[in-house]
Amino acid sequence: MHNSLNSIGRLKKLFPLQRATPLSVRLAAHPEERAALIALRTHTYRQVGKHQKEELMTDQFDADALLVGVWQGEEPIASARVIWRKPDDEWEHDRFVEWSDIFPPRENCVEISRFCVTEKARSWAAIRALCTGILEALCRTGKAEFVACCTDEFVPLYRQFFGAQMLGQPFIHSDLGPKPHYMFRCDYRSCSVCRGITFIPWLVLWPSGTRSFMRQYPHMFPDVTNAQRALLLAGAIVEPFAAYVFGVWRQGRKKR
Q: What is the pLDDT of residue 17?
A: 46
Helix or strand holding residue 213 (H, E): helix 207-216
- Report residue 7: phi and psi, to 5°: -65, -40
Q: What is the pLDDT of residue 137?
A: 95
The strand pairing partners of 149, in sequence order, are: 183
| Local confidence pLDDT in tens for the 256 residues of the chain | 555 555 545 555 554 544 555 899 999 999 999 999 999 999 999 988 888 888 999 999 999 999 999 999 999 999 999 999 999 999 999 999 999 999 999 999 999 999 999 988 888 788 889 999 999 999 999 999 999 999 999 999 899 999 999 998 999 998 898 999 999 999 999 999 999 999 988 998 899 999 999 999 999 998 899 999 999 999 998 887 776 666 556 555 555 5
CATH of domain 2-255: 3.40.630.30
| Alpha-carbon dihedral sign for residues 156, 160, 161, 165 | positive
DSSP 13-76: HHS--------EEEE--SHHHHHHHHHHHHHHHHHTTS--SSS-S--GGGTTPEEEEEEETTEE
In Å, how far from its chain's centre is CA 213?
16
Kindly report the pTM of this predicted structure.
0.84
* Domains of the chain by residue range: 2-255
